[in-house]
Structure 1
Amino acid sequence: MAPVSEDPQVASFHHNARDYSLTRPDYPSEIFRLIADAAPSNDRVWDCACGNGQAARGLIAHFAHVDASDISEAQISHAPKLENVEFRTASSEHSPYPDGCFDAVCVAQAFHWFDHPAFFKECHRVLKSEGILAVWGYYRHSVDARISQVMEEHIVPLMSQRWSPRNELLWHEYADISFPYPELAFEKPDMKIRWNLDEYRSYILTWSPIRRMIEEQEGDGGKRPLEAAMSRLEEAWTDEMGRKNPEMKKEVEFTLAFRMFRKP
């Protein structure tokens, strides 16, 4: 597996930071409650690889202080200004934080990109005794039968050769990774959101294989297959009577990988 720094999909997170901040779904609030309830106290938490701060917004409702870091200055620049949340540029494997300072270390939608042995070493350094390591991410999603058919027949084939092997770590819900701490048992929350056609389409356009396809074939008709697929998606976005209704909100349900571990 190629080093993260050599993976072309990682660069897309820097270049498309604004789109990520506007279109990516929020995480279930239950995630943050579960983390806070499991932590030894609720003083300080690290949102590692925070992106534009989606997890930080949820964490600050439960912790007195959130330290949020990301290697991408572009992502940090689109983070909101939040009281008691400090954003900074830093790597997940070499952070500036003191030893034993965090009640919890959280990684949302980024853990599959890490150098895991190096991150676990850093996590062990900064976590308090009995502190929590929480990692999560979403992958598959479903809307309704017509939308699912368009996705499977016209959009998924465009991406099949462009996913990074690291995405499989998320799709397997991190089962291929050896974690250093005992795992906690809990009931995993659902992740659902309601979107209209434009919101759903904007989310799809942030997928790294789609962005990569457009960049690879730019000037050579690279957008044409995608434009055709999006037209089919528009045709399929209908109400209960089969009438096209792009403003109609449809429920999008994601498959959520969410695991928590406790440092001894």
Structure 2
Amino acid sequence: MKDNFSVQSAGYAKFRPTYPQELYDFLFSLVSAHHTAWDCATGNGQVATVLAEHFTEVFGTDISENQLAHAVQKDNITYLLQSSDRSSFADQTFDLITVAQAIHWFDFSAFYAEVKRTLKPGGVIAVFGYGVMQIDEQVDIIIHKLYKTILGHYWDDERKFIDQGYQTLPFPFRESSVPELYIKTSWNFDQLIGYLNTWSAVQHYEKANNSSPIDLVISELYATWGAGQKEVKFPILLKVGQ
């Protein structure tokens, strides 16, 4: 599994969007018991924190020590520095396993073997993420130029699974039908720029060119944005199985 996020872990914790309660309500409705959950590639613990409100014990694992250093602490969450494809958990431990905005980086076969080993009978695996945000027609055109034209070949190959809406993602489980869901939030201009700086392709571009790709569009973005806040919507990508 690649670690593309240690270098901007503080920004990741501050600027990445949060999932709506509707997503969690749907997932929890599918789980027959709420004893133990594993949030794999937990990052800053965003999802683990919500799971901790509904499960007796939650484990959050990540390969980034820096990400875990920024994770939200709760008494019933245990954070572990572990890879997705080789965990220390016993067989049939979990009622629910989640992966948020990270499954596309995994060694699928190795991780899914761990899922099948550590899920309880009838347990649920949920992998979810989000695509490129939608704001308004004019801003979206500039964001698309940054995403596709400027950063196109700076994205890792694995990004294709997000671009394809997780539809081509290997998923060897009995799938449940899922609702259409969105992350909806409101941002000012600084929040937009903060979020764009968390993109892994931005980091790759900066390393290769010693300059920020956002500088190429920031004036145009600012002029288009105007004053105040804008509504921001991210389509949620979701696969759930047993």
| 2:134 aligned to which of 127, 142, 148 | 142
Report the equivalent of 1:7.
Answer: none
Letter in 2 for 1:138: Y
Aligned mates of 1:12, 1:89 — CA distance in 2: 16
| 1:48 aligned to which of 26, 37, 40 | 40
Does residue 93 of structure 1 match 2:85?
Answer: yes
| 1:254 aligned to which of 222, 234, 239 | 234
TM-score where L is the length of structure 1: 0.87
Does residue 227 of structure 1 match 2:205?
Answer: no
Does residue 212 of structure 1 match 2:204?
Answer: yes
- CA 1:187–1:226: 2 relative to 1, 3 Å: closer
**Which stretch shows the higher mean deviation, 98-107 or 146-155?**
146-155
Q: Encode CA deviations 1:125-172: one digit per residue, 9 max, x unaligned.
A: 110000000000111211012211222345542111111111111222
Report the equivalent of 1:34.
Answer: 26
- CA 1:74–1:188: 2 relative to 1, 3 Å: same
Computing the radius of gyration from Cα coordinates, the structure with the larger value is 1
**How far apart are residue 98 of structure 1 and its match?**
1.2
Aligned mates of 2:181, 2:216 — CA distance in 1: 35
Aligned mates of 2:111, 2:3 — CA distance in 1: 20
| 1:187 aligned to which of 162, 179, 201 | 179
* Gap regions ≥5 residues in structure 1: 5-9, 239-244
2:166–2:238 Cα contact (<8 Å) kept: no
- Aligned-residue sequence identity (percent) comes to 31
2:39–2:61 Cα contact (<8 Å) kept: yes
Aligned mates of 1:89, 1:56 — CA distance in 2: 14
* Gap regions ≥5 residues in structure 2: none
Query: Number of residues paired by the alignment?
Result: 242
Secondary structure of 2:95's aligned partner: strand
| 1:160 aligned to which of 152, 157, 164 | 152
**How far apart are residue 121 of structure 1 and its match?**
0.6
Aligned mates of 2:67, 2:110 — CA distance in 1: 22
